[in-house]
Amino acid sequence: MYSNKSTQQPGSRSFESIKSIIQRKYAEKGPVHAKYEFQEYGLWLSEQLHDKKHKTLYIKLAKEKPRGLLEEARIFSIDYKTSSINRGKIFMWKLQQLENESK
């Protein structure tokens, strides 16, 4: 009753390519708009650290943590010599150290 043979012509495609699906998905997102200053700072921080994957984490930190600690950790992580372009892990490590020192 059912046949494994396709009824389509050999040159035609019935499926959309993964590449075009992903491109369309990311094209629809557009730029991120921040309503509050701490959101803007968190987004800027994620760009500075090359860690756009964790934008929400940096927004949360910008809202809850003292700005001086965040700036000191940011400067340290940017100046730190490493082969990795993503500075998020170094930033979090330094931020934790600074918080422990301030207690």
Q: Would 40 be classed as within a structural domain?
A: yes
Statement: residue 34 has pLDDT above 80: yes
Whether residue 8 is contained in a domain is answered as: no
Flag whether 16 is in a domain: no
What is the distance of C-alpha 96 from the center of its chain? 20
- Sign for the pseudo-dihedral over CA of 80, 51, 95, 37: positive
Q: Is residue 50 part of a domain?
A: yes
CB-count exposure of residue 87 (10 Å: 0-12, 13-18, 19+): buried
**Which residue's entry shows tokens 């959309």?**
16
Higher pLDDT, 10 or 51: 51
Cβ atoms within 10 Å, residue 97: 14
Is pLDDT of 23 > 60?
yes
Is residue 4, in this structure, part of any structural domain at all?
A: no
By residue range, what is the domain housing residue 89? 33-102
To the nearest 10°, report the CA torsion of 37, 61, 77, 49: -60
67: pLDDT strictly greater than 60:
yes
Number of domains in the chain: 1
Encode pLDDT of 5-14 as tens digits: 555 555 666 7
Among the listed ranges 6-10, 36-40, 69-73, which one has the minimum average pLDDT value?
6-10
- The first and second tokens of residue 100, run together, are 């422990």
Q: What is the pLDDT of residue 98?
A: 96
Site of tokens 């094209």: 27
